Amino acid sequence: MNICVFSSSSNAISEIYFREARKLGELIAKKNHTLINGGANVGLMEAVTIAAKNTGAKTIGIIPEKMIDRSLASENSHEVLITPSMMKRKAKMREMSDAFIALPGGFGTLEEILEVITLKQLSYHNKPIVFINTNNFFDFLFKQFDITYKEMFAKETYRNLYFVAKDAEEAINHITNYKPADLDPKWFEVPEK
């Protein structure tokens, strides 16, 4: 299975996040999966790539040419695919992947994981999506999701679009045992004004 991991490209973050990224990379390898990620040589992206590669997984980095120009491509990816833009990069990652995991990260990570959730909501795919909530990193995002459901901007059934894992092991177990949920594609019944 090709598992896409979205994650931070920061080296300034706490070691707790790096430990979980390395654990995820090792588990991807031990379960005979392939790692697909953004292909950068920094942050959790590089940590998960090195751990996966060193434990025996194939690693594929997909990176926009602008990042190549900045010498940001990982030398630990078995294969590096270069795209002309960020948009093409994300499309290639989605196309090649059978499952998606978000480790903690910044705006790029949030954009990537929210896009795959939105596309699943709109029935463009039915692949598993997992957040690894290391150090409760995503708690405030999930609180925003709760407000979204409460205020009826999204249906409660959309909680089934994604899974929240406490760690890498729970994330891989979820993906391994994943059964697509029926999300009821009908829109809200809108009351008459």
- Residue 127 is assigned to a structural domain of this protein: yes
Give the whole-angstrom CA distance, residue 77 versus residue 166.
Answer: 27
- pLDDT tens sequence across 127-145: 999 999 999 999 999 999 9
- pLDDT tens sequence across 146-160: 999 999 999 999 999
- Residue 190 is assigned to a structural domain of this protein: no
Mean pLDDT of 30-47: 97
- Residue 67 is assigned to a structural domain of this protein: yes
Domain count, the chain: 1
Most confident stretch, 71-75, 141-145, 177-181: 141-145
- Residue 182 is assigned to a structural domain of this protein: no
66: containing domain: 2-175
- Residue 180 is assigned to a structural domain of this protein: no
Higher pLDDT residue, 98 or 192? 98
CB 106 within 8 A of CB 8: yes
| Average pLDDT for the chain | 94
- Residue 36 is assigned to a structural domain of this protein: yes
What is the CATH classification number for the domain harbouring 98?
3.40.50.450
- Residue 185 is assigned to a structural domain of this protein: no
pLDDT at position 182 is 79
- Residue 35 is assigned to a structural domain of this protein: yes
Give the whole-angstrom CA distance, residue 46 versus residue 63.
Answer: 13
- pLDDT tens sequence across 50-65: 999 999 999 999 999 9
Longest dimension (CA), the chain: 61
Residue identified by tokens 């078995």 is 78
